[in-house]
Amino acid sequence: MKFYFLLLSVAQLVSSVSAEEYRPELFQSLKLVYEDDFSSGKLDTDHWQTRQGSTWVIKDGALVGGPSPKEYQDKKVAEGDKSHAGFKPVIFLEKVPENLVVHFRVRFDAENYAAKFPLIDIGHHFNSLNFSKDKTTLTLKNDPKSAQTKELSLPLKQWVNVTIELKKGSLLLKIDGKKILFEDDRIDMIGQQQIDFKGVDHGGILIDDVKVYQGIR
């Protein structure tokens, strides 16, 4: 029995250390609320929602997304809804906290950047991060006048480590250890507690090692 409690105590300690190995900059501390390394081989549909008919599978321990089937694309185009025809992979990570710290590995596969894509939305259309060759642009609530552009790139066709911290008024983005800070009173994700991953037309997205924390001030 003593051995059992010793094992339990060690497991709790490891869990606590793991949840605190990242030191936040916008918060005093963190609470781990969700993680997924896709080792189960099954998509957790309580948190992940595939969108626009795009195809998603778990392969070699990563979540892999591609465009929708041609039949779906043709149907949407015929309906006059080309923007949601699934030419690009799209997936939502839902049930994330408003005071957010999220870490993940991601790879956007495409031959070139497109206008406004690839894109990561922190809150659906609330805090839109779109990436180009040398820069990252944050647009708030679909308002072009809110756009802020800073010099930090997310390269295509290679794995990168991304960390995002968000609280009311501030968004911190880290890519492979380099960081930029956006500040604006309109930054928040109240009522839109999700993260959207959107690729480039005819391209792919790979996602792995996701950890979602609640930031504690």
What are the tens digits of pLDDT across the range 113-168?
A: 999 999 999 999 999 999 999 999 999 998 999 999 999 999 999 999 999 999 99
Q: CA-CA distances (angstroms) from residue 40 to 36, 37, 159? A: 9, 8, 21
pLDDT in tens, the chain (217 residues): 444 334 334 344 433 334 457 899 999 999 999 999 999 999 999 999 999 999 999 999 999 999 999 999 999 999 999 989 999 999 999 999 999 999 999 999 999 999 999 999 999 999 999 999 999 999 999 899 999 999 999 999 999 999 999 999 999 999 999 999 999 999 999 999 999 999 999 999 999 999 999 999 8
Residue 13: what pLDDT? 40
Residue 8: what pLDDT? 38
Residue 21: what pLDDT? 78
Residue 189: what pLDDT? 92
Residue 2: what pLDDT? 43
Residue 22: what pLDDT? 87
Residue 7: what pLDDT? 38
- Contact yes or no for 20/29 (Cβ under 8 A): yes
Separation of alpha carbons 13 and 188, rounded Å: 33
Neighbours of 205 (CB within 10 A): 25
Residue 20: what pLDDT? 52
Q: Which residues pair with 173 in a beta bridge?
A: 164, 180
**Going from the N-terminus, what domains does the chain have, and what CATH number goes with each?**
25-216 (2.60.120.200)
Q: Respond yes or no on whether the N-terminal peptide bond of residue 69 is cis (omega within 30° of 0).
A: no
